Amino acid sequence: MSIISLITGWPGPSGFGSASTAEDVTQGIDAAGLTAIVTGGASGIGLETVRVLAIRKVHVIIGARNIEAANKARQQLLEENPSAKLDVLKLDLSSIKSTREFAENFLALNLPLNILINNAGVMFCPFQLSEDGIEMQFATNHLGHFLLTNLLVEKMKNTAKNTGIEGRIVNLSSIAHAHTYGDGIRFNKLNDKNGYSDKRAYGQSKLANILHVKELTRRFQEEGVNITANAVHPGLIMTPLMRHSMLLMRLLQAFTFFIWKNVPQGASTTCYVALHPNLKGVSGKYFLDNNEKRPSSYARDGKLAKKLWDFSKDLISSVSKA
């Protein structure tokens, strides 16, 4: 999408653009019978994603760190849409233990799983390590979602096989994936405070989100699995995600107001990729403003995607054994 399309909201090849809302891109879609998990679904674009999926009759499970806030959000959605099917489960993606518990609790519900939206994240954090000793942005934005996906993928495969309905995985990435460290991923210096940049660490984690779906797609196609995996950039939206750099973001917004989106617009690409029939069979792609966009050269590197997969798997294994 060009800067002109971004500013004007003119639609791209999909028929939708930067001005399209989540309700616009799912208009007329009846998703009754589908079950989705949305991580970080208690606020911001995650909450809007939950709201619109529920309108389209999806049974949505909200994964949230703050259960009180999530239950309050659920109640508000039910007041607006009494027929909505919504559940809340505790999930702290920065914690391997919490992520495993969430997956166990979900599987215990004995529900199908058609859609997994890896939405939750943190942004521009000062250097800190998770409870597992992993740099926080990488731990939350990538590693937690990597583990969650691996824990739930067999459920998704079985659901797709038993229903004949394509499963879909959506990773929320960012255009910031292009602003990462010199080697793309700092495999050997992941937890090194020296040289840490909150902006580049965020970019690294968002690059990892795209590489994750690239390797997932390769594996799904190799197995002949009826599941797709894609990454999306929601756009510039003022949400609680920016709490670590709110002053900077508000200053930036004052000078670039014409390219910022509201929350319904910010959730549109996620909902488009998760539900729209035009994307049947489309996998391993990166979407911006409801249209496919070519990501950075690092994000297109299949060898880097495979290396990240193996690194992430080994890292989780080493932490779990500690």
How big is the chain by its Cα radius of gyration, in Å?
18
Question: Angle at the Cα of 273 (from 55 to 205), degrees rounded to 5?
Answer: 115
On whether the CB atoms of residues 231 and 213 are closer than 8 A, the answer is yes
Count Cβ neighbours within 10 Å for each residue of 214-224 and write b for 16 or more, e otherwise: bbbbbebeeee
Amino acid at 244: H
DSSP designation for 194: T
Give the closest residue to 146 by CA, choosing from 138, 136, 155.
138
Q: Backbone phi, then psi, for 190, in 5-degree steps?
A: -55, -45
Q: Residue 27 CA to chain centroid, in angstroms? A: 22
* Strands 236-237, 227-233: pairing kind: unpaired
181 is catalytic: no
The string of DSSP letters for 92-105 reads -TT-HHHHHHHHHH
Specify the residue for token string 């920016």: 242
Residue among 196, 202, 272, 286 flagged as catalytic: 196
Amino acid at 195: G
Residues catalogued as catalytic: 196
